[in-house]
Amino acid sequence: MNPLIYFDAFTHIGPKANVHGAQPWSLDQLVVEMRHCSISGALVSSISSVHYDPMLENRRLSGQLSKHDFLFPIWNAMPHWTGEFPPPEELAGLMEQAGVRAVTLYPKTNGWGIQSKTSQPLLEALERSQTLTILSLPEIDVSGVENLLENHPGLPLLLTGISWGCQRQIIPLLLRHQNLHIIFDHFQINRGVEWLVEKGCENQLLFGSNATDMSMGAHRAYIDYADIPDSARAKIASGNLIRLLKGIKPPREMINRDEDEIMTEARQGKPLSALVLDFHAHILDEGLNGGGGSYTMFNGGPSGVHQLAKRLGIDGIGLMSWNGTVHVQADEGNACVRAALDALPADFSWGLATFDVARESRKEIEQKLQTIFKDPRFLGIKPYRTYGKFYDDPAYDAVWEFGNQRGLYALFHPQRADLGEFDKPCSRYPNLTFVAAHCGGSYQAADAAIAKARQYPNFMIEITLTPVCMGIIDYLVQGAGADRVFFGSDQPMRDPRQQLGWVVYSRLSVEDKKKVLGLNAQALLERIKSSPAPAMAGRDCSTLDGDTLGARTK
Ligand SMILES: [Zn+2]
């Protein structure tokens, strides 16, 4: 592959209100992240131009960026009627003078009506000047986007902040309106980039990281590993943005010469040679492209997940179901996991089972535990919050007692912000390992997880969540130790590539990255597989099956 220039279509700097102090926000942090992740240029907006006087802060931003020839300002614009902002024709002149080719609009936060006729002069001027206009979906609703596209077919619109749950609304708009462009910041849709390129949308897709909130490396991994023609990859990485900015582009390719071998492989789109085990995947039944609700997941069954894993170098995946967790069909979900284990190569995956603690008796659950864990490929338990019980509820006692005797692990989707639901299980069942999912979702979540990891030796941290917060993998490892943090992706609900890139482009040493990517998971799974037969004592010993345990020791 030719060298690929990455040009980030949306970043921001400036402090945000009510945000954890460890969250990156400054221009220096943005530049350091770009150099680390080999990003050659970026459009940069200022949070302050939304929350203080826009023109004062627009000018301040242009001044701040002027010392870096690879950074280009995005001004925040709004209608002029209250005298706080220049009229459209004057704005056009100011932007021309300052070399600004992109604006953000924040109608909700800035309190103006994007659908009002009074906003038409601004929108018409932006359309006339072909200014890249960046809107975050939470600032407008989908029907507002559709109206905007229909009323201003020449306006180059870039939509950010699209949840992956909006695919059924956004994809039809992309197919219908060629002036709609997207980045994948929150739109981390499984195999979405391939699907959209195949549908002819390659000119509408842009690389945009939403740094300094999010990891730039997470987002470049989605493109570097995309199974698309190199010509489309080059357009998404930078070509489309250069076109939309009428030729503005980074002056040179930026390559991090100090990157480690894991980053080099990822940057070149090669399968990682380090051991990678994905600790969190909600498999669908074969052939499905969605999980009901509002969730599209292209090719989310075993064959699709396996194919993508090979492309990334993922060596193994812990499979739990989607329907058994989110949609409380525990039996069907466990059957789906078993079918996936049957379909996939031996040793590629292991299973986690779910139990209906809301509707089934202790006796029924005990029977199901015994039946399911006769299959040595099941090594974990996946309770879920949709069953309406906290994990420290007595309804779970039978599950944790069994797991403790077998030395299994449980993957918890946290329920309380302080993770208080872990206290009772972690202290009462020391032979069961509890892995908290989604601990990288925010710095507050990371703090709570670090505190529990320090308190309980059987508490582990799994990272996955859409926000792929910049710097948080390092923060978790610094706080809890490299032995306690596990890579997980939540695929195919989210595409695994951003989650993988998040770890790959962390600042961890190669040794620590390898632990997080796979060695920690391998050690835990080996321990479970070689767990000795439980002492035949205690009230649940009648449910244990010694032969099966012997069989599990490979
Ligand atoms: Zn989950």
| Other beta carbons less than 10 A from residue 502's beta carbon | 28
Interval between CA 175 and ligand 1 midpoint (Å): 31
Q: Which CATH number applies to 262-549: 3.20.20.140, 3.40.50.2300, 3.40.50.300, 3.30.360.10?
A: 3.20.20.140
Q: Is-contact 493 295, C-beta < 8 A?
A: yes
470 has a pLDDT exceeding 70:
yes
Mean pLDDT for the stretch of residues 150-161: 98
Interval between CA 544 and ligand 1 midpoint (Å): 27
Confidence of residue 534 (pLDDT cuts 50, 70, 90): low
Confidence of residue 533 (pLDDT cuts 50, 70, 90): low
Interval between CA 126 and ligand 1 midpoint (Å): 43
Domain ranges, ordered by start, for the chain = 7-258, 262-549
What CA–CA distance (Å, rounded) separates 204 from 179?
Answer: 7
Interval between CA 505 and ligand 1 midpoint (Å): 23
Interval between CA 365 and ligand 1 midpoint (Å): 21
Give the pLDDT confidence of 32-55 residue by residue, as tens digits: 999 999 999 999 999 999 999 999
Beta bridge mates, 159? 135, 182
Q: Is-contact 375 338, C-beta < 8 A?
A: yes
Give the pLDDT confidence of 359-415 residue by residue, as tens digits: 999 999 999 999 999 999 999 999 999 999 999 999 999 999 999 999 999 999 999
Q: Which among 116, 112, 166, 113 is positioned nearest to 137, based on CA atoms?
A: 166
Interval between CA 317 and ligand 1 midpoint (Å): 13
Confidence of residue 531 (pLDDT cuts 50, 70, 90): confident
Interval between CA 435 and ligand 1 midpoint (Å): 11
Q: Which residue has the tokens 């019980």?
A: 389
Interval between CA 118 and ligand 1 midpoint (Å): 46
Interval between CA 464 and ligand 1 midpoint (Å): 9
Interval between CA 285 and ligand 1 midpoint (Å): 16
What CA–CA distance (Å, rounded) separates 351 from 284?
Answer: 13
Phi and psi (nearest 5°) for 6? -100, 130
Which residues, including other chains, have CB under 8 Å from residue 83's CB and lie 6 or more apart?
none
Sign (positive or negative) of CA dihedral 247, 78, 24, 236: negative
Phi and psi (nearest 5°) for 394? -55, -20
Q: Which CATH architecture has domain 7-258?
A: Alpha-Beta Barrel (3.20)
Q: What is the pLDDT of residue 29?
A: 98
Residues 75, 121, 178: CA angle, nearest 5 degrees: 70
Encoded amino acid at 217, one letter: G
What CA–CA distance (Å, rounded) separates 191 from 496?
Answer: 9
Interval between CA 466 and ligand 1 midpoint (Å): 13
Q: End-to-end CA distance of the chain, in Å?
A: 42
Confidence of residue 3 (pLDDT cuts 50, 70, 90): low
7-258 and 262-549 share one fold: yes
Interval between CA 213 and ligand 1 midpoint (Å): 23
Q: What is the pLDDT of residue 545?
A: 36
pTM above 0.85? yes
Which residues, including other chains, have CB under 8 Å from residue 520's CB and lie 6 or more apart?
460, 482, 483, 484, 485, 486
Interval between CA 352 and ligand 1 midpoint (Å): 11
Interval between CA 280 and ligand 1 midpoint (Å): 6
Interval between CA 281 and ligand 1 midpoint (Å): 7
Interval between CA 496 and ligand 1 midpoint (Å): 13
- Sheet with 41-46, edge to edge strand ranges: 7-13, 41-46, 71-73
187 has a pLDDT exceeding 70:
yes
Encoded amino acid at 245, one letter: L
Interval between CA 310 and ligand 1 midpoint (Å): 22
Interval between CA 14 and ligand 1 midpoint (Å): 33
Interval between CA 490 and ligand 1 midpoint (Å): 6
Concatenating the DSSP letter of every residue in 461-500 gives EE---TT-BTTHHHHHHHHH-GGGEE----BTTS-HHHHH
Interval between CA 329 and ligand 1 midpoint (Å): 14
Interval between CA 413 and ligand 1 midpoint (Å): 6
324 has a pLDDT exceeding 60:
yes
Which residues, including other chains, have CB under 8 Å from residue 141's CB and lie 6 or more apart?
none
Confidence of residue 4 (pLDDT cuts 50, 70, 90): confident
